[in-house]
Chain A
């Protein structure tokens, strides 16, 4: 399966989903005008990838300095997908990378964690 690479803009993050090395990175800020439209190809890729995933360990790195409320919903939907496949026995590690100065990025990470059952967010200070 091809990798998914989307370059960052001022209001959308860089997406680097590497199916060979099983590393999924989202880096930057996310507050698009139309969140569903921007994330449609991302979820399409992700669904296909997760369907074909065997027992490889996957690392997800999220380094998001700012997200608007509709992107917050998208992230939650993404985490729900990870939760579902972890429950099927898959191996997903998620690193929530935040800047020391950005207190709310840490708080948001903790808040997502409160809403998750089996997916653990590793809060990683940059």
Chain B
């Protein structure tokens, strides 16, 4: 195991990933990841707007994992209430002059039919049309089953310099692993 673990770490470095987290995600953890990310980017001389773009994508992707990952840990908060958070993986790194953010989590296969066309649609839109869609969506009532405003992926697409790269790989009849790469 120890040898293999070193191997895993090396693989992250090989891909120039400087910050990785895998496991149950939480709001507070995300805030801390955000803080260290801002500090590191600042030291590297990244501009204020680049830092903010990477940070806002991190927030949207992390909150997606928290709310929507099909792999969840649940705890009893008190007698009546249960709290639950999603598990997933987040990795941030460099690719030439760009920053990249990778995120992954398990999704229910029946959600793929909803997610895939949505992401494909976003990739086909110009910056202006993404803005238009964002503004239209903001005026609407939230979609059923959405805990946010249905704006997260649009926001991510608006902040990236390249199309979103995504993949759904089969796990079994019920679940798949959803991964997303964004380039800033």
Contact = CB atoms under 8 A, between A and B. Distances in A.
Interface stretch (B49-57, B71-79, B107-115, B117-125): B49-57
Interface residues of B, number: 24
Interface in A89-117: 101-104, 111, 114-115
Contacts of A76: 138-139
A35 B142 CA distance: 12
Contacts, number: 58
B60 A104 contact: no
Interface in B128-169: 131, 135, 138-139, 142, 147-149, 151-152, 154-155
B59 interface: yes
A67 B71 CA distance: 27
Contacts of B147: 34, 70
B63 interface: yes
Chain B interface secondary structure, helix, strand, loop or mixed? helix
Interface residues of A, number: 21
A126 interface: no
B48 interface: yes
A68 B52 contact: no
A34 B131 CA distance: 24
Nearest to A9: B31
Contacts of B154: 69
A81 B104 CA distance: 38
B70 interface: no
Q: Which of B52, B60, B152, B154 has the most C-beta atoms of chain A within 10 angstroms of its own C-beta?
A: B52
A69 B52 CA distance: 14
Interface of B: 27, 31, 48-49, 52-53, 55-56, 59-60, 63, 66, 131, 135, 138-139, 142, 147-149, 151-152, 154-155
Interface of A: 10-11, 31-35, 66, 68-70, 72-73, 76, 101-104, 111, 114-115
21 contacts: A33-B27, A68-B56, A68-B63, A68-B155, A69-B60, A69-B148, A69-B152, A69-B154, A69-B155, A70-B147, A70-B151, A70-B152, A72-B149, A72-B151, A73-B148, A76-B138, A102-B49, A103-B49, A104-B49, A104-B52, A115-B139
